[in-house]
Structure 1
Amino acid sequence: MAQTAAVPAGGVIAEQIREVERARLRALVAGDLSAASELHAPDFQLVTPVGHVLSKDAYLQAIATGDIDYVEWEPGPIDVRVHGNAAVIRYRATLEVIFNQRRVPRASYWHTDTYENADGQWQAVWSQATAIGQITQRPVP
């Protein structure tokens, strides 16, 4: 099977994807559902840090109702791998969120997102967040 090479992380396309991700985060924090909707593919799915899977509609509805209210979402450097019309990004971010009217303390998370380019527009397709916590047991070698 032929392998395709990733576009270098410093390329123009990679920087475009970084800016789309930053715009997506700004829209989510601001509760700008119109902008957020444009930046998420119709079949978008989020896997939350506690393992729940949300569709685009369920995710944006939760933001609209205030069930999810991002207080802060500050991304660090965003690593990007581009393969044709698909890209994978990964970064560490600091988040503070109110979830179901309960404040989740400010914490760090790893984010891995898959983007696809449809008709010249990059949109998030899959997103997964992983909480970064202290190791409570000895890691397995």
Structure 2
Amino acid sequence: MPDFLSGLLAFVVYFAGAVGFCAVYCMVYTRVTRHDEFSLIVNQQSASASIAFGGSLLGFAIALAGAIHHTGSIPEFVMWGLVALVTQIVAYGLARLAYPGLSRAIEENVLAAAIWVAAVSISAGLLSAACMSP
């Protein structure tokens, strides 16, 4: 039973940390983009904003899962979580470079733009999670 309790405590700490990281990521990502994701998603029911933002969050969560899986301490998890966050922001910047007018396209509900951002974000998340392995 003590093993279960220590495992449960580790679960709670890592899960709470991951949820906190996701909240921070959402705040940072929405500041970096030129469009207002929440307004587009909630008020305009924009599929493209939802796909782009959801794909970005999924890519970040994949990288966080890799960080949780491959780290042995909370400080190490925090460092790799920050690396994952920066990686996703850089990925978004590269997606914007490759697709001029990306924010405008998402505001206009262009699904191709949203799928592009989601694919770049998920790819970056998968690659960064794999690179975190020892």
Give the TM-score taking structure 2 as reference length: 0.32
Higher fraction of helix:
2
Structure number with the bigger relative contact order (C-alpha 8 A, sep ≥ 6) is 2
Give the TM-score taking structure 1 as reference length: 0.31
